[in-house]
Structure 1
Amino acid sequence: MLIRQPIAAGRFYPAAPEALEREARAYLEGGAALAERGGAASPWGLMLPHAGYVYCGRVLGATLAGVDLPRTLVLLCPNHTGQGQALGVWPEGAWLTPLAPLTVDADLAAALIETNAGSGGFVADTRSHLGEHAIEVILPFLQVASGAERPLRIVPVCVGTQQAAALSAAGRALAAALAECRARGESAGVIVSSDMNHYEDERRTVEKDALALERALACDPEGLLATVARERISMCGAGPLALALFAARLLGQPRAEFIAHDTSASASGDASHTVGYAGLRLFLA
């Protein structure tokens, strides 16, 4: 069995289970203060940030508070390390967190890989995930939000491309695999792990984040990718979000809700060198 060990515990979030659950729960309970919208909801997908909890915990809490998560989650993250394949799927086994293991849905992972076979798309690849923090950081929040009595199954996917053609093809494969789940009566959705603009002053970060979020809220993957490139917005998860939006268009009529935005300056006090964080909920009509 393939086991993915945590690499960010003790750095991005507490390594001790009790402290980790307590911190995540506090952010979930306090999330309403930051949320522009919120409350009980059953979204098909979410976009969540993946920084240290002291920086992005409020946005994580606001976006997840009151959400009824699908039981199986395809987790799309950027590739910060440059290792592995462009669309790397962790194929089976489990991911460990300080709270509990999360089982990988091997059947859905295989369906993704097989649906995209021969197109240069999804491939079984653990290398892209071993040093990547972007999925790991959000897992404890997902576990606390869903509750121990309703364990989640996951399919981690590391996305190392922002090419529209490749992401559109991957979106078709993802939509086909999720449509099969839906036909079987299974509850499956998508989580995108992404921070927003990086390492500019707060004014520029807020401005650039607004441009990217405008396209995301319009459910416009082509426009999102073009805007990020044209405006030089260092949104690490633009590719994963575009992939999710390409899939959503094939599964129904997508609608995105903005939940919250923050920058690292709120925690650090440094407005000259910031990272933006945003939370979105995605629905299908």
Structure 2
Amino acid sequence: MREPVVAGQFYPSNPKELKKEIRKCFKGIEVSSHDLIGAVAPHAGYSFSGHVAAHVYARIPSADTYIIIGPNHTGYGSPISASADTWSTPLGEIRTDGDLIKALAGSIIDVDELAHRFEHSIEVQLPFLQYTLDHDFEILPICMGLQDEETASEVGHEIVRAVKDAGKKVVIIASSDFTHYQSADIAYDTDQYIIEAIEKMDVSEIYRRIMEKNASACGFGPIAAMITAAKLLDATKAKLLTYSTSGDVIGDMSSVVGYGAITVE
């Protein structure tokens, strides 16, 4: 069992308070399922980025499995790691998709629980899924320590191969924040420049712009892997739904983190 590690820090550990917090995140957002294949959602504390993430989850469709790809902030575990554990949150337990785990055997994606043990980027997405969805579902958590373009492309291709082998309907969520600890003006300009390439679904251009700006978006590999897979699953368009920074919450614009909600259909 993968127990929650940031409950009580990034989001409430009490189920009633957690539901209340998530409900607040959805305030003012129309909930209407869309035919999403992929998405980008932030992974900061809910008080900072929950409202941005809610824009994605307000549009999340029913699927068999939600593949959540996050960056490895801790450095533990294999470079590309899937989890086969059942995951626990204050809202209950979620099984991982054993069929997809089996289909990934022998690929670049190892099964390694250590990479996930203390990593928050996937965990914070799960209560949103549990709150939003009214059907049984499974997850496939994938943690990326290596985020270069070649690796991200291979991860995307392997996901699609496994999905087609298993015959599953999936939604692929890339967990990422954008610029870290720059002024709000710099963060906005840098992030919009990168998001423009994401909206074009141009993986090579995303990497070129990140290198050009020396950008500090933490999940560019998961974003690239998601886009690679989504295109192979016939996605044709990506759209920024909303963008904000931590400065919009606390009022300090001198050093912010950027958050974007992006859908891929």
TM bin (shorter chain): over 0.9
Counterpart for residue 173 of structure 1 = 158
User: What aligned pairs does 1:250-265 form with structure 2 within 5 A after superposition?
Assistant: 250-265=232-247
Q: What is the identity, as a one-letter code, of the residue corresponding to 2:250?
A: S
Counterpart CA distance in 2 for 1:255 and 1:243 is: 16
1:96 aligns with 2:95: no
Structure-1 separation of matches of 2:85 and 2:71: 21
- Which residue in the other structure is 1:73 paired with? 66
1:59 aligned onto 2:46:
no
Task: Give the corresponding residue for 1:215.
Answer: 197
User: 2: CA distance between counterparts of 1:22 and 1:253?
Assistant: 34
In 2, Cα distance between equivalents of 1:86 and 1:94 = 21
Per-residue CA deviation, residues 72-100 of structure 1 (Å, 9 max, x unaligned), is 0111000101111111011x230000001
After superposition, the C-alpha distances for 1:162-189 in whole angstroms (9 at most, x for unaligned) are 21112212221111112234xx3x3212
Partner of 1:50: 43
Cα distance in 2 for partners of 1:281, 1:105 equals 23
The letter for the 2-side match of 1:42 is D
Partner of 1:31: 29
SS at structure 1 position matched to 2:34 = coil
Distance in structure 2 (CA, Å) of the matches to 1:252 and 1:131: 34
> Equivalent residue for 1:273?
255
Contact map agreement 2:103 2:165 (CA 8 A) in 1: no
Secondary structure of 1:15 counterpart: coil
User: Aligned equivalents of 2:98 and 2:79: distance in 1?
Assistant: 20
Report the Cα distance in structure 1 between the residues aligned to 2:18 and 2:97, rounded to whole angstroms: 25
Match of 2:131 in 1: 144
Q: Secondary structure at the match of 1:84?
A: coil
The answer for the alignment partner of 1:132 in structure 2 is 119
What one-letter code is carried by the residue in structure 2 that aligns with 1:68?
P
- Aligned residue for 1:246, secondary structure, equals helix
Task: State the Cα distance separating 1:142 from its structure 2 match.
Answer: 1.2
| Bigger mean CA deviation after superposition, 224-233 or 73-82 | 224-233
CA distance in 2, matches of 1:43, 1:66: 8
Could you tell me how far 1:152 is from its partner in structure 2? 2.1
Name the SS for the 2:29 alignment partner. helix
Q: TM-score, normalised by structure 2?
A: 0.95
1:5 and 2:8 are equivalent in the alignment: no
Which is worse superposed, 236-245 or 220-229? Answer: 220-229
Q: Which residue of 1 aligns with 2:223?
A: 241
| 1: CA distance, partners of 2:124 / 2:208 | 28
2:183 paired residue number: 201
Per-residue Cα deviation, 1:235-271 (whole angstroms, up to 9, x for no partner): 0010001011112222224311211101001111110
In structure 2, what is the Cα distance between the partners aligned to 1:246 and 1:174? 10
Q: 1:154: how far off?
A: 0.4
Residue 191 (1) aligns with residue 173 (2): yes
Identity %: 32
8 Å CA contact 1:162–1:225 kept in 2: the answer is no
Distance 1:152 1:234 in 2: 33
Letter in 2 for 1:8: V
Letter in 1 for 2:44: A
Report the secondary structure of 2:104's partner residue.
Answer: helix
Give the Cα separation in 2 of the matches to 1:191 and 1:70: 12
Q: Does 1:106 align with 2:91?
A: no
* Worse-matched range after superposition: 62-71 or 157-166: 62-71
